[in-house]
Amino acid sequence: MTVDKKKICGNCGLPSSIGKGNMWHANGVITASYPPHIRGTLYDIDELNALFPAISERIGFDITRLVVEGKRKDGKRYADSLARNIKEKGREPAPVEIYEMIARFCSYWGLGLVSVAEYVEGERLTLGVRNVYSEPMYMGDWSGVFEAMEKRRGDPRWRDEDVHDMIDVVAVEGEPELEVRIEQEIELGIPVDDEGDLQYRHCPECEVPLEISKQFSWDADDANIVERDSGKRFILHNTNGFAAVVRVLREELGDEIDGIITGISRDYAREYYQGIGGETSMDAELMKFPLRSWGRPTRLLRSNNGYGIRIANPYSSPVLAGRLWGLVETFEGRTFSLQVRGEEEGVLDLALNLQD
Ligand SMILES: [Zn+2]
């Protein structure tokens, strides 16, 4: 696969299009620069990829299909809005133009290297792919893009089950019930409070906060965003699909799903923060949250028996609760119990109490 070399910011080294396409806001949220300003999150891929298999294992059934559906609707919404924006500028984009555009974006967002190999209008889209962040989720993303452009449901499959380098998205009849529900959830999105007082030092050339280029090596030519401290791969991807999957899981399985997710994220966070240890601190790690669109810490109270922590605009309350729990435990070197003290819209409020 040949991919054109991507333009790089001469000052900070990030791909130039990241600053053009995205805005880092003072409220702890990243959004696209273009309407409808869809929220994005910098996801830790190991955390994301560990989460869904671990949930499946705990609850005893495979939720992969649900995750793919969430991603499908996310991809559909994104492609729809991209096509709409081009139309509003007075031009009707051909589907293949949108596919090629999104393929290019995928390398910037770290999702994978992808190119359009074949296209039969209304019937089939074949993609050559490499270095994909998650096979089921990426298939979901692309089937949604196909659905938006062809107005038909796309069924994604590997061309060769043994060699995962080519995806065929084939038009099929829809399965409305689950799809309609997830689509409604995606449209609902997650509540965001515009207030915020974060101030970043921005790159004078591309406008991305300079802290991002310090924390990540961002190589669009390989679709690799790597966190320097941990060596972990990250992606910049839509927030709503993930939130919608968690909400549908909650409807199906009850509120206990939050506790399950939080427990899995806590285990992951302990391992993660033990791994980076050394040079960093709890405060320094908390300050990274808003830069990743995880939300904005607005309160950190320390007392003899624990912590009170509040996050405005969490991208996912159960995941962040677990992150914070494992973070505090690792830096304190002690065990805490967690109490989630009510989740108002757009706020996560936690009490962590020392266990003796
Ligand atoms: Zn720059």
What predicted TM-score, i.e. pTM, was given to this entire model? 0.92
Closest CA to 247 of 192, 177, 289, 188: 188
Distance 9 CA to ligand 1 centre (A): 5
**What share of the chain has pLDDT > 70, as a percent?**
94
pLDDT of residue 74: 86
179 pLDDT higher than 80: no
- pLDDT on residue 14: 97
Tell me the mean pLDDT in the region 76-95.
93
Please write the tens of the pLDDT for every residue from 137-166: 999 999 999 999 999 999 999 999 999 999
pLDDT at res. 66: 83
Going from the Cα of 88 to the center of ligand 1, the distance in angstroms, rounded, reads 29
Q: Which of 39-43, 243-247, 295-299 has the lowest mean pLDDT?
A: 243-247
Cα-to-centroid distance, 108 and ligand 1 (Å): 14
> Cα 246–248–250 angle (5° rounding)?
70
Handedness of CA 31, 208, 213, 300 (dihedral sign): negative
Å from CA of 129 to ligand 1 middle: 28
As beta bridge partners, residue 133 has none
Q: Domain residues of the chain, as ranges?
A: 1-254, 282-354
Burial 274-288 (b: 16+ CB within 10 A, else e): eebeeeeebeebbeb
Q: What is the pLDDT of residues 279-337, one digit of tens each?
A: 899 999 999 999 999 999 999 999 999 999 999 999 999 999 999 999 999 999 999 99
**What's the average model confidence in pLDDT over 58-87?**
89
Displacement of CA 11 from its chain's centroid (Å): 26
Q: pLDDT for 184-240, tens place per residue?
A: 766 666 777 788 889 999 999 999 999 999 999 999 999 999 999 999 999 999 998
Residue range 282-354, CATH number:
3.10.28
The CA 183 to ligand 1 mean position distance, Å, reads 36
Q: How far, in Å, is the centroid of ligand 1 from the Cα of 283?
A: 25
Q: Across residues 161-177, what is the average pLDDT?
A: 87
Separation CA 119–CA 126 (nearest Å) = 6
Residues with CB in 5 Å of ion ligand 1: 9, 11-12, 203, 205-206
For residue 206, report the distance from its CA to the centre of ligand 1, in Å.
Answer: 4
Segment 75-83 mean pLDDT = 92
Rounded distance from Cα 20 to ligand 1 centre (Å): 10
Tokens of 327: 């973070």
Instruction: Give residue 178's pLDDT band: very low, low, confident or very high (50, 70, 90).
Output: low
pLDDT in tens, 103-143: 999 999 999 999 999 999 999 999 999 999 999 899 999 99
In the predicted structure, residue 251 carries a pLDDT above the cut 90: no
Q: Identify the pLDDT of residue 187.
A: 67
- Asked whether residue 167 carries a pLDDT value surpassing 90, the answer given is yes
Report how far ligand 1's centroid is from the alpha carbon of 193 (Å): 27
Confidence of residue 242 (pLDDT cuts 50, 70, 90): confident
| 22 Cα: distance to centroid of ligand 1 (angstroms) | 13
Can you tell me the mean pLDDT for 5-10? 91
Distance between CA 232 and CA 107 in Å, rounded? 17
How far is 235 from 238, CA to CA, in rounded Å? Answer: 10
CA of 213 from ligand 1 middle (Å) equals 8
Cα 43 to ligand 1 centre (Å) = 21
Q: Phi first, then psi: give them for residue 315, nearest 5 degrees.
A: -75, -30
Instruction: Kindly give the distance from the C-alpha atom of residue 315 to the centroid of ligand 1, in angstroms, as a whole number.
Output: 25
Q: Is the pLDDT of residue 2 over 70?
A: no
- What the block records as the tokens of 16 is 């130039």
Cis, peptide link before residue 204, omega less than 30° from 0: no
